[in-house]
């Protein structure tokens, strides 16, 4: 596993866009370390090249750990389901020689936080 840490500081309007170094692998977890972002901060994390969603959550008030999972599909493009219950099968999203793009909103004026990415 590799850990990538990205410290982010917002502009006066509470917004920021930051990028991780390039990485390849399955995304195991994202840990938000709150330094002093305002309560109610919004996070949108995507793969920069493809735009694939990794984590999107609004109104986060405290440090948090997230384990993102994505829906899987059959070779025919249909949603993969577990047994007869019809529960969606999820798996870790992957990133290949790409960067995490992190967009912050409502973070407060010149406030900071850190996202730690654990990639398998």
What does CATH list as the number for 2-119?
A: 2.60.120.380
Q: Sheet containing 41-47: give its strands across.
A: 16-19, 100-105, 41-47, 53-60
Predicted local confidence at residue 83, as pLDDT = 76
Residue pLDDT tens, the chain, 120 long = 999 999 999 999 999 999 999 999 999 999 999 999 999 999 999 999 999 999 999 999 999 999 999 999 989 998 899 876 688 999 999 999 999 999 999 999 999 999 999 999
pTM of the model: 0.93
Q: Tokens representing 95? A: 């990133």
Predicted local confidence at residue 17, as pLDDT = 98
- Least Cα distance to 37 among 19, 68, 64, 67 occurs for 64
Length, in residues, of the chain: 120
With residue 70 as reference, give the H or E element that holds it: strand 70-71
Domain residue spans of the chain: 2-119
What single DSSP character describes residue 63?
A: -
């Amino acid at each position: 596993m590799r850990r990538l840490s990205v410290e982010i500081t917002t502009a006066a309007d509470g917004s920021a866009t930051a990028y991780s170094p390039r990485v390849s692998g399955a995304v195991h977890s994202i840990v938000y370390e709150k330094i002093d972002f305002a309560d109610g901060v919004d996070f949108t994390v995507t793969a920069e090249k493809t735009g694939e969603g990794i984590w999107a959550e609004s109104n986060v008030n405290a440090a948090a750990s997230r384990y993102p999972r994505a829906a899987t599909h059959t070779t025919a493009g249909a949603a993969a389901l577990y047994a007869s219950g019809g529960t969606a099968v999820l798996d870790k999203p992957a990133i290949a020689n790409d960067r995490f793009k992190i967009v912050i909103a409502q973070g407060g004026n010149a406030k900071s936080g850190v996202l730690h990415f654990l990639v398998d």
